Amino acid sequence: MLVIPAIDIIDGKCVRLFQGNFAKVKEYSLNPVEQAKVFADMGLEHLHLIDLDGAKDGTPKNLNVLEQVVKSTPLKVDFGGGLRSVSAITDALNAGAWKVNVGSMLSNNSVSLTNHSLNEKIIAAVDCENYLVKTNGWQNQTTIKVDELLNQLVGIGIYHFAITDIARDGTLSAPAVALYEDLRQKFSKITLWASGGVSSHSDVINLQKIKVDGVIVGKAYYENKLNLKELLRCLQNE
């Protein structure tokens, strides 16, 4: 199972939100590029880089940070935040993204990507609360159920998903294992990444047991709750 560290950006700084609330922001000391170098030095291969300014405003604001991270590290960077058009997705890929996290665009207008050549580069970033999808930087509540959206997206050829339970995100309260287990059983062939609430090695092992393909780790690392080097060794020994 992949361990994917997360960097969230506001005003060019590393931050974490509590349950997606832009009013509850905590800044961390290193800038995004320096933090990415730290992750690369640990032996990690992936990075989940999210432009929260872009997510809020609807268009990417930190593509320059993406470019700098890609030039400065060997990390495979999946980038998200404000990617709500094909042109925005293309801009992120041209800036060096390995894949792009697309959320609101898929929930609001999935038809625009039907049979599109970009689909293999897309990670469907599905953010939810109580099994219902939220969009626009977690500010818009929909009536779409998570499994309904996944079924639609698999139908148009998207197979990579990063599912965030907003109620868990930034809380260190343990991931939504029941949600991921349900989705894994319903969608056995997708690539499934879990995000939100991870706070311990046991949380990660529990996700591995239900065959989640990757886990995105954020606040647990920044708050020194989870040693990523030790976690990598632990997973390699499983």
d(C-alpha 89, C-alpha 102), whole Å: 8
Residues with catalytic roles: 8, 127
Partner residues linked to 135 by β-bridges: 140
Residue type, 179: L
Residue 25 has which token pair?
């922001």
Query: What is the DSSP track for 195-230?
Result: ES---SHHHHHHHHHTT-SEEEE-HHHHTTS--HHH
Pairing mode, if any, of strands 13-18 and 21-27?
antiparallel
User: Angle, to 10 degrees, between the axis of helix 146-155 and the axis of helix 177-186?
Assistant: 40
d(C-alpha 186, C-alpha 2), whole Å: 21
